[in-house]
Amino acid sequence: MPEVLILDAVRTAIGKRNGTLARSHANDVLGAVQKAIVDRTGIDPLVVDQVVGGCVQQVGAQSANVARNAWLAMRLPQEVPAATVNSQCGSSQEANMVAHALVGSGLAGVAISCGVEMMSSVPFGAMAVEGKYGMPREGTYAEVYEPTTQFEGAERIASKWAITREQADALGCESQRRAAQAWAEDRFAGQIAPLEVTSYGEDGKPTGTVTFERDECLRPTTMEGLAKLKTNAPDGIHTAGTSSQICDGAGALLLATPERAAALGLKARGRIVDSVLVGCDPELMLEGPIPATDKLLARTGLSMDDIDVFEINEAFASVVLAWQQETGADMTKVNPNGGAIAVGHPLGGSGVILLTRALNELERSGGRYALISMCCGGGLGTGTIIERI
């Protein structure tokens, strides 16, 4: 495939459940990063051939093609088309893969990939299947596969790879420590688009506006504190301290061919080396980063030692720990600025947020390659390798 460049990447700060972004509309939050990437690069938005967005709970405020609605809400040109895809938690990373393919194939010269999830206002499970979030429990699907939830999948992975509660707690504690260090050292500088958000008093009435530009899910964490938490399942290992946080947020990337980048007078920050979407056991469900990593390395000829930064979504601690067992990854390179346990996992927004974080970390650390992967409900895994330019 011809070279596909990353011209810019931006994200919102991530708002905690019922936090600063809780009353913001998905169109406004996603639209803010779409507009930010246009404003930061100075492009005429009409040069964008297509916008591809990811969102999981496509209902209520996130329904009816939220990627398009967000674009129009920002008064951006109606001539630019947009579509919204759903690969569950990997939705915006899949949106980036679609944008990668559009640009690489020549169907588009410039594309924006993006994603959003406002989990405070469109709750996790808003699109529950037959009364329970997870796979369909009636009909032919249930005759072929045992219906499971992400929570059940996480515990089955812990059992299969013999991951203990103490190991999970240690990863959760380290995620919080690294995220706190990243903010203390201002490592996220330049990647966050500030949002002007309405503030509310205790009576629920608007009190003015605040500028939102700092991740707010972080919390002081110790191994002793984690050990006291109740597990999600009676016989499980995961707790609220070792599971990704419910939150709100969005991100966006601007992709282009080298020819279009040159014509626009823009210097690329990186390039996409390869993108994959893989299928895996839908009952175990969350092992997708393992085959996604294997496929990416096999197709590119790169090795684990060639990768300088790994962003493996911390949907649950067992997902990352099982992946590490299978790949032998150096954990000092994995989620170096904390992961979703500390920062949050706004479902359909997380893929492009992780890509943004990875690109910025390569630039900060001087690394060359980053590998980004996510597990997804239904037995899928997304994966991308990017290279800093």
Is residue 375 among the annotated active site residues?
yes
Tell me the DSSP string of 143-159: HHS----HHHHHHHHHH
- Which of 55, 280, 375, 376 is the catalytic position? 375
CA distance 151 to 318: 11
Candidates 335, 180, 175; CA nearest to 240 is 175
- Which of 173, 238, 247, 345 is the catalytic position? 345
Tell me the DSSP string of 88-99: TBTHHHHHHHHH
Torsion (CA) 25, 32, 89, 165 in degrees, nearest 10? -90
Is residue 89 among the annotated active site residues?
yes
Task: Quickly list H helices, 199-332.
Answer: 223-227, 258-264, 289-300, 317-327
Distance of CA 297 to the CA centre of its chain: 21
- Which of 89, 217, 280, 376 is the catalytic position? 89
> Which residue in the block uniquely carries the two structure tokens 């996480």?
154
Helix (H, G, I), strand (E, B) or coil at 128: coil
User: Strand ranges (DSSP E) for the chain?
Assistant: 5-11, 15-16, 50-54, 82-85, 110-118, 195-200, 206-212, 247-256, 270-279, 309-312, 369-376, 380-388
Please report, as a single letter, which amino acid is at residue 149: T
Q: Give every CB contact of residue 15 below 8 A, 6+ residues apart in sequence.
A: 21, 22, 24, 120, 212, 216, 217, 247, 248, 249, 344
Catalytic residues: 89, 345, 375
